[in-house]
A and B are shown apart, each in its own frame.
Chain A
Amino acid sequence: MSTWKLATPDFTVTLNLNAADNGAMNGTLTYQGTSYSVTGGWDAAGSVPGRNYSAFSLSGRTPGLPDVPNWIAAAGIMTGPGNAPSKIDIRVGVSSSADGTLTRYSGVLVPWDGVEGIDTFDHVVVLMLENRSFDSILGYMYPQGVPPNAPRGKTFEGVTGKNLSNPVPPGVKNPPPPGVTSIPVSPVGTDPNTGQQNYFQPYPDPGESYVHVNTQLYNLINGGDNPPHNLPPQRPLPVPPMSGFIMDYIENYKAEEFKGQDPTYDATPAQFPFTGYKQIMECYPTSAVPVCTTLAEQFGVFDHWFCAVPSQTWCNRAFWNAGTSWGFVVNATESSDWWTASPRWIVDSAGRTIFNQIQDSGWTSPLNWKIYSANPLVALTSIVHFTALAPYHPLIPGTWIHNPFNHFYGFGIFLSDCAAGNLPFYSFVEPRFFTPQSDMHPSTPGAYIDGSGKGNVGPVLLGELIVWQVYDAIRRSPKRDKTLLIITFDEHGGCYDHVPPSGSVTAPDLKGYTLEDDFDFKRLGIRVPTIMVSSHIAPNTVVNTPMHHTSFMKTVGAKWNKVVPGSCNPLTARVTDAPEFSEVFTSVAARSWPELPKPAIPAEFWTTDFSQAPLSPFQRSIVEGASKLPQAVEARKRGMALRDPATINTVGDALEYLRSMPGMIPEEPLSTLK
């Protein structure tokens, strides 16, 4: 008996077989990430005159009953001794009982150490940025299409060559030029005052809550905050035409951003950043976001990765790490009962997270997960998962005593952990959320002061910088070849995208929870950019298979279940039914990571005073969430005077408020971003 372990260099086919001396074979064959139980036989070359080659055949199916199986058949020629094959030429055929397709593959397998794609990494680092659609950041990639030698995916769902546009709403107060009834997708341009790339668009911030996203999907205003929440009457809902981005941008501008004012059609250079509604159809050219687009091209990009909920930050971030948002659809500050005597988010968000699963797995390492944030004491993740993560806050809950079980650290610690090879199993990195923010979130009105006269340092450029920092820190880490970096976004944030999200996804387990805005959680949110970087992902990898936020928990949960069986089982039905992303791994052998140019930030930026920048609704949600943290509650119990967060309106006041909280770890200086 011998074992044959071989794989194609891109993991398209792997073989893990027992080959008996009598010629019988059985084991596992994987094809494009799907595993098949197979049996068959082989004959050894040379054992009979005229038998000059070792030939074999196998057949079998995907395991498990009852199900909807694929069946597989393979034949090939093996080279080398029976106990140590050096090469296999293989032909594979697959038949699907789901769609009746027949597919075939031919390739060459080489010896393989049995490490599958998902096992190529020990550490996973997730950098989750804010509020950008796929088209907004990556839409202009691959204008000539994916190179023919790309290891995965032969198409790229970008904006080039598609004549994409949205209609201008009839009767708009500041109409477009005569004859213009729709606005096409175009690249974000330069500041005509300086000639430099504009890193602020769209400005001001588009609508992003559930009812706004419905308008963006269906170009319909129908009820607003009341049923049917801007949805069409048909059930099941029709496929969204993705045609309401201009309508919603105008409505949100008037209602939320510049209250009572109507946006102009086009740019007004004197009012840079531009405020015209035309800009909502603008997407960044690759030259404006070279770090993101280079990593997406040099490693792997998912061109059908959807956020979990057609709405805002808190819910989508909750889905990433918990597989649910417990019925919530909008950020907590917009929930009518968040600040009442028994805030529902605190109670309902007590559900376990993947951090709790890792913590409870009994692994020996005391620091098997970390959350890195510019404000570790008030990390957004600690607020979103208020109760579940309380035991791991920097302070012992209800006290001002340093918590020895703390799992929240500053971004500077992330950089030093990378350098020292001390990354935990799971690192979740938060960008800087306060102005000047590095989260790529579109700016709130007035927040452009961080770029005025300072070289147009907008959130997109600072986002490029933190992506570069995280990438480069891992690139230089001794653990680089065992680390998977995932760069993603929580939600599309109202930025234009042209691909309709799925309307038939599994809802998480919601029994007992109140469904905010009557949303049934059976629809996904809009596409977001998701890039994966690993020593085992080849250049030009494009994964076309639709994924969504809970694909993360599904995939790493399966991986960690191999380490501690049962430790990371799916927390919700949404996770159970999520597709795994393991097909992104394409290389058996480790590859190198190219050095990328660091985004250039003008020197004067680092000494600019941002304290008077207005607080955005999202930033306000963090301040108000922090006011409910245990140490703040304790402070009020002890009679300390803490400012009412409702009176805080600027970034300077917000940071001062956070610093005033007992036991507060000072916010990391802006220079950490340098």
Chain B
Amino acid sequence: MAHWKLASSDHTMALDLNAADNGALNGALTYAGASYNVAGGWDAAGSVPGRNYSALSVSGRTPSLPDVPNWISASGIMAGPGAAPTQINIQADVSSSSDGSLKHYEGVLVPA
């Protein structure tokens, strides 16, 4: 089990995840000040021939019930060892059950 804690330089997006050896991811994403509980997975680069990059995806929602949640999904490419990522290129989308909007984010996360 490793702990990934990275954020964009302006802290628009932050990531605080437990990365299990079996590839499961769970924890929190913070986007524009709102926190989301997320789960997903990743695969480590180099562990299979042709797998040249560590790719991941997670999805989840703002916590607590009953409420008016936002839902988030994110995919990315992680650089560095699984125990200590040095960078994540991330793209995320957020859907709002309040106003029906869809927002997109792209950025680079570095160790926070």
Q: Which residue of B lies closest to A61 (CB)?
A: B41
B52 in complex: contacting residue of A43, A47, A70, A99, CB < 8 Å: A99
Q: A59 near B53 (CB under 8 angstroms)?
A: no
Which residues from chain A contact B52 at a C-beta distance below 8 Å? 97-100
Say yes or no for B56: interface residue by CB 8 A criterion.
Answer: yes
A91 in complex: contacting residue of B54, B93, B99, CB < 8 Å: B93
Chain B min CB distance to A113 (Å):
26
Q: Interface size of A by Cβ–Cβ distance < 8 Å?
A: 48
Chain A min CB distance to B31 (Å):
11
Q: Which residue of A lies closest to B104 (CB)?
A: A91
Say yes or no for B63: interface residue by CB 8 A criterion.
Answer: no
The CA of A67 and the CA of B76, in the complex, are separated in Å by: 18
Say yes or no for A499: interface residue by CB 8 A criterion.
Answer: no
Chain B min CB distance to A421 (Å):
46
Say yes or no for A45: interface residue by CB 8 A criterion.
Answer: yes
- Among A50-58, A341-349, A368-376, the one that faces the other chain is A50-58
Which residues from chain B contact A97 at a C-beta distance below 8 Å? 43, 45, 51-55
| Interface bits B90-112 vs A (CB < 8 Å: 1, else 0) | 01111111111010101000000
Q: A93 near B77 (CB under 8 angstroms)?
A: no
Say yes or no for B70: interface residue by CB 8 A criterion.
Answer: yes
Q: A75 near B57 (CB under 8 angstroms)?
A: no
Which residues from chain A contact B48 at a C-beta distance below 8 Å? 66-68
A48 in complex: contacting residue of B67, B70, B73, B75, CB < 8 Å: B67
Chain A min CB distance to B65 (Å):
9
Q: A75 near B95 (CB under 8 angstroms)?
A: yes
B71 in complex: contacting residue of A42, A72, A99, CB < 8 Å: A42
Chain B min CB distance to A506 (Å):
14
B102 in complex: contacting residue of A40, A58, A77, CB < 8 Å: A77
Q: B95 near A76 (CB under 8 angstroms)?
A: yes
Q: Which of A95-125 contact B (CB under 8 A)?
A: 95-102, 104, 106
Say yes or no for B4: interface residue by CB 8 A criterion.
Answer: no
Q: Which residue of B lies closest to A96 (CB)?
A: B55
B97 in complex: contacting residue of A53, A70, A89, CB < 8 Å: A53
Which residues from chain A contact B106 at a C-beta distance below 8 Å? 102
Which residues from chain A contact B96 at a C-beta distance below 8 Å? 53, 55, 77
Say yes or no for B85: interface residue by CB 8 A criterion.
Answer: no
Q: Which of B39-63 contact A (CB under 8 A)?
A: 39-43, 45, 47-48, 50-61
Q: Which residue of B lies closest to A40 (CB)?
A: B59
Q: A75 near B59 (CB under 8 angstroms)?
A: yes
The CA of A69 and the CA of B52, in the complex, are separated in Å by: 10
Chain B min CB distance to A352 (Å):
31
Which residues from chain B contact A42 at a C-beta distance below 8 Å? 71
The CA of A59 and the CA of B42, in the complex, are separated in Å by: 11
Say yes or no for B35: interface residue by CB 8 A criterion.
Answer: no
Say yes or no for A281: interface residue by CB 8 A criterion.
Answer: no
A70 in complex: contacting residue of B55, B66, B71, CB < 8 Å: B55
Known: A51-B98, A53-B97, A69-B55. A75 touches B43 (CB 8 A): no
Which residues from chain A contact B95 at a C-beta distance below 8 Å? 53, 55-57, 75-77, 91
Among B56, B61, B71, chain A packs the most CB atoms within 10 A around the CB of B71
Q: B50 near A98 (CB under 8 angstroms)?
A: yes
Chain A min CB distance to B51 (Å):
5
Say yes or no for A584: interface residue by CB 8 A criterion.
Answer: no
Q: A60 near B53 (CB under 8 angstroms)?
A: no
A57 in complex: contacting residue of B41, B43, B50, B60, CB < 8 Å: B60
Main secondary structure of the interface of B (DSSP, over half): strand
Known: A50-B98, A55-B95, A75-B102. A43 touches B69 (CB 8 A): yes
Say yes or no for B72: interface residue by CB 8 A criterion.
Answer: yes
Say yes or no for A291: interface residue by CB 8 A criterion.
Answer: no
Q: A91 near B102 (CB under 8 angstroms)?
A: yes
Q: Which residue of A lies closest to B41 (CB)?
A: A61
The CA of A48 and the CA of B51, in the complex, are separated in Å by: 44
Chain B min CB distance to A399 (Å):
54
Say yes or no for B15: interface residue by CB 8 A criterion.
Answer: no
| Interface bits A357-386 vs B (CB < 8 Å: 1, else 0) | 000000000000000000000000000000
Q: Which residue of B lies closest to A44 (CB)?
A: B97
The CA of A102 and the CA of B68, in the complex, are separated in Å by: 30
Say yes or no for A652: interface residue by CB 8 A criterion.
Answer: no
Q: B55 near A55 (CB under 8 angstroms)?
A: no
Say yes or no for A213: interface residue by CB 8 A criterion.
Answer: no
Q: B59 near A93 (CB under 8 angstroms)?
A: no
The CA of A403 and the CA of B14, in the complex, are separated in Å by: 73
Which residues from chain B contact A94 at a C-beta distance below 8 Å? 75
Say yes or no for B18: interface residue by CB 8 A criterion.
Answer: no
Q: A73 near B57 (CB under 8 angstroms)?
A: yes
Say yes or no for B86: interface residue by CB 8 A criterion.
Answer: no
Q: A102 near B75 (CB under 8 angstroms)?
A: yes
Which residues from chain A contact B76 at a C-beta distance below 8 Å? 95, 102
Which residues from chain B contact A74 at a C-beta distance below 8 Å? 59, 73, 93
Which residues from chain B contact A610 at a C-beta distance below 8 Å? none
Say yes or no for A618: interface residue by CB 8 A criterion.
Answer: no
B43 in complex: contacting residue of A55, A69, A100, CB < 8 Å: A69
A96 in complex: contacting residue of B53, B72, B94, CB < 8 Å: B53
A58 in complex: contacting residue of B41, B59, B68, B97, CB < 8 Å: B59
Q: Which residue of A lies closest to B91 (CB)?
A: A93
B73 in complex: contacting residue of A47, A66, A93, CB < 8 Å: A93
| Interface bits B7-24 vs A (CB < 8 Å: 1, else 0) | 000000000000000000
Say yes or no for B28: interface residue by CB 8 A criterion.
Answer: no
Q: B99 near A72 (CB under 8 angstroms)?
A: no
Among B40, B42, B96, chain A packs the most CB atoms within 10 A around the CB of B40
Which residues from chain B contact A51 at a C-beta distance below 8 Å? 67-69, 97-98
Among B39, B59, B70, chain A packs the most CB atoms within 10 A around the CB of B59
The CA of A48 and the CA of B102, in the complex, are separated in Å by: 20
Q: B75 near A41 (CB under 8 angstroms)?
A: no
Closest 8 CB pairs of A and B: A73-B73, A100-B53, A91-B93, A59-B59, A71-B57, A57-B71, A53-B100, A55-B95
- Give 7 A-B pairs besides A53-B97, A61-B41, A75-B72 with Cβ atoms closer than 8 angstroms: A59-B39, A73-B40, A73-B73, A95-B76, A96-B53, A97-B43, A98-B53
A-B contact pairs, 28 of them (CB 8 A): A40-B71, A43-B61, A47-B66, A51-B68, A51-B98, A55-B69, A55-B71, A57-B60, A57-B72, A57-B95, A58-B73, A59-B59, A59-B74, A61-B43, A66-B48, A68-B51, A69-B51, A71-B42, A71-B56, A74-B59, A76-B102, A89-B102, A93-B92, A95-B53, A95-B57, A97-B43, A98-B50, A100-B53
B residues at A contact (CB < 8 Å) = 39-43, 45, 47-48, 50-61, 66-77, 89, 91-100, 102, 104, 106
